Amino acid sequence: MNVKEFGKVAVLMGGRSAEREVSLMSGTGVLKALQSKGVDAHAFDPSERDLGELKREGFARCFIALHGRFGEDGTVQGALELLGIPYTGPGVMASAVAMDKLMTKRIWLAEGLPTPAWRQVRSAEETRAAFAALGSPMIVKPVREGSTIGLTKVTTLEQCDAAYALAAGQDPMVMCEQFIAGDEVTCPVLGTGDQARALPVIRIVAPDGNYDYQNKYFTDDTKYLVPCGLPEGEEAAIQALVLKAYRTLDCRGWARADVMIDAATRKPYLLEINTSPGMTGHSLVPMSARATGLDYEDLCLTLLASAARDNA
């Protein structure tokens, strides 16, 4: 791979979302990795600089290490399309849909893909009604946020009001979701169309089953199992399901899908798909890629090489 062909590369990091801190960690890791491979890579924070500077300063492609809104939701992708600059990860429509957990679920359900039952709610009263319908435990979360920010696992009716207020503080669109008790796993995908391939499944074992923001990024107490140790055939079935979910949303480049496996039935349920996954020291795509022999630096190069535009 001739890295000089990439030209001047911007690593987009930081941004304005609630995941800014994690994005800066991801972007710093990617930047160092690309530079170590000889890529002419530079940090670029869209919250501090106008995106138009990318064109004026001669950037030839972008590695998107932004997470959450204003980075993972199709907005930056659309701007880069207008600027004519290729970028990593899915395009405008796939990014926008995947960021919206409700829209993602509606599409998956229409395609016959399993996802937990849910209700969209607009008030604490509707959240209590959802609790009566979905049962305990129930997850309350913002529709367009990531990294479990604003998420609450509700086990009593009395918790519903505070859970709704927390989620609504992050996004006016709030959803309640049936909780699936069982193994929590995640599966990355690399590539586009028929060339897309699922990487090894990672099983996540968090302290007290609480895989929250702190346990995701800032502690070493969470265990990540690769190989995942699932019963024979389950890993392959989950990989096939995740690939179908990825292609259904017309993703390209890379993404990572989160899945819960019902402990009683062993049925997998798709939770969501992340179109700009983390690239920190605790992140899961690098961990899964490493299990196939692809180290962090080469993973970053592979992703950069996949940079594209919807309308190229």
Catalytic residues: 19, 147, 217, 256, 258, 272, 274, 278
Sign of the dihedral defined by the CA atoms of residues 69, 70, 74, 77, in that order: negative
Phi, psi of 236 (to 5 degrees): -60, -40
Concatenate the DSSP letters of all residues of 60-103 into one string.
-EEEE---STTTSSSHHHHHHHHHT--BSS--HHHHHHHH-HHH
Q: Where are the alpha helices (DSSP H) in the chain?
A: 20-36, 52-56, 75-83, 92-99, 101-110, 124-134, 160-168, 213-217, 234-248, 284-290, 296-305
Closest to 41 measured CA to CA, from 49, 55, 31, 54: 31
Q: Are the C-beta atoms of 10 and 304 separated by less than 8 Å?
A: no
Q: Are the C-beta atoms of 17 and 75 separated by less than 8 Å?
A: no
